[in-house]
Structure 1
Amino acid sequence: MGRRSDHSRAELEALILAEGHRLMADVGFARFSAREVAKRIGYAVGTLYNVFGSYDMLLAAINTRTFELWAAHLEDRLAAPSAERIAALVEGYFSFAADNMNLWTAIYDHRLPLDMAMPEALVTRRAALTEVVVREVAAILPPETKDRAPRLARSLVATVHGHCTFALNGSFALLGETAPLEMAIARVRESLIAAGATIAD
């Protein structure tokens, strides 16, 4: 029997999300199962869909939680004493991905159907990650080009993501590259300096 009366809707949403996130971390996107989440929390699988609306929205919520943890991870790296902030951002990107491979890859493995829009609340929560990068980029650009920070930040995230993906999937090793993190930091610094940024040595 399911424990249908044990939790309020808000409590149930938090319970499903916590267990779903834990399962995703354990088994990854390909082996993730809403039925297994339901089994672990003692509810019928239909309860999950009643709370989140669909399987896709459950996955979107789980991945949004990962975005938030990732943003917090970057902030932790930036808070380290004497951190060179741009290098700390890039290292934080790499280290979060390496330490949370299943969660990180699930973000890119899951796609909402074309006729399904991401809820605005999830869009806003996910944006916190990019906002960390935009803030740090804007802080080192000259006043007359600070309005370029959002677009530049998105480009830099794409650059770092490519380097990180190649590092973690073994592509750089096949190419003989032994220091992908350092290479990513160098490419980011070059792009920022070209944009007029002031970066401490």
Structure 2
Amino acid sequence: MSETQRRREEQRQALIAAAERAIAAQGLAGLKARELASEVGCSLGAIYNLVQDMDELVLRVGSRTLSRLDVALTEVESGPEGAVERLVAIALAYCRFARANLHLWRTLFDHRMAEGSEVPDWAVSEQMQLFRHIAVPLSELLPNAGGDRLTLLTRTLFSAVHGVLVLGLDEKLIAVPVAALEQQIDMLVRLVCAGLGSEESR
């Protein structure tokens, strides 16, 4: 890597870090190209030499968020014994990560690509990789489930937990106290697992 390339990459990483701080503080509404340019010491137009557009910048911030979420979920997987307990631990770790990184977490789902643009393959792949945290214990709980069914159940369980979490953290609607929210998520995962286990034993 040449010196010019190295400096450009350093500035690119500085831009992504500045965008991450802006989103963490104020959500997507806090992401202002002019302010970012001033913070990293480049012209407004130079931002688009570092990233293709603001969509890519948001996705790069999302990539960092997903990476930290991956670490948080991995850390709790080795503790509990049994597939159900691991699924509960993963769901609660997801809940705690969302609360601790509220704006960054919401951005993963609130961001919409510009009309005519699609989420790039690298970003989709990073998102899909996280489903393994659910799929692996589910496959232990349901050893006879085929690949397609396991994929569907994995996404369904995630959607159920995510939906409860979104509503529970929405202060404008039905905000739920933290302890009660975690109890609801714990109960939801156990009920789903009990139902799936019962179905599997038929």
Q: Above 0.5 in TM-score? A: yes
Residue matched to 2:136: 135
Aligned pair in 2 of structure 1 residues 92, 178: CA closer, same or farther (>3 Å)? closer
Q: Distance in 2 between matches of 1:6 and 1:138?
A: 45
Q: How large is the Cα RMSD of the aligned pairs?
A: 2.6
SS of residue matched to 2:30: coil
The structural deviation recorded for 1:52 is 1.4
SS of residue matched to 1:74: helix
CA contact (8 A) 1:78 1:89 kept: yes
Deviates more, 1:107-116 or 1:188-197: 188-197
Q: Distance in 2 between matches of 1:77 and 1:177?
A: 19
CA contact (8 A) 2:11 2:40 kept: no
Residue matched to 1:43: 42
Aligned pair in 2 of structure 1 residues 173, 104: CA closer, same or farther (>3 Å)? closer
Residue matched to 2:163: 162
The structural deviation recorded for 1:146 is 4.7
The AA in structure 2 aligned to 1:181 is E
Aligned pair in 2 of structure 1 residues 191, 74: CA closer, same or farther (>3 Å)? same
Residue matched to 2:101: 100
Residue matched to 1:120: 121
Are residue 54 (structure 1) and residue 26 (structure 2) matched?
no
Residue matched to 2:180: 179
Deviations 1:125-182 (A, max 9, x none): 222222222223223222x2152222111111111111111211144457x9972222
Q: Distance in 2 between matches of 1:196 and 1:10?
A: 50
**TM-score, length-normalised on structure 2?**
0.82
The structural deviation recorded for 1:6 is 8.9
Q: Distance in 1 between matches of 2:189 and 2:163?
A: 12
SS of residue matched to 1:30: helix
Residue matched to 1:33: 32
Count of residues paired in the alignment: 192
Are residue 75 (structure 1) and residue 74 (structure 2) matched?
yes
Deviations 1:12-71 (A, max 9, x none): 322221221122112211122122222111112222222211111211221222122112
The AA in structure 2 aligned to 1:145 is A
> Which 5+ residue runs of structure 1 have no aligned equivalent?
none
Identity of aligned pairs, percent?
Answer: 27
The structural deviation recorded for 1:184 is 1.9
Q: Distance in 1 between matches of 2:142 and 2:39?
A: 49
> Which 5+ residue runs of structure 2 have no aligned equivalent?
none
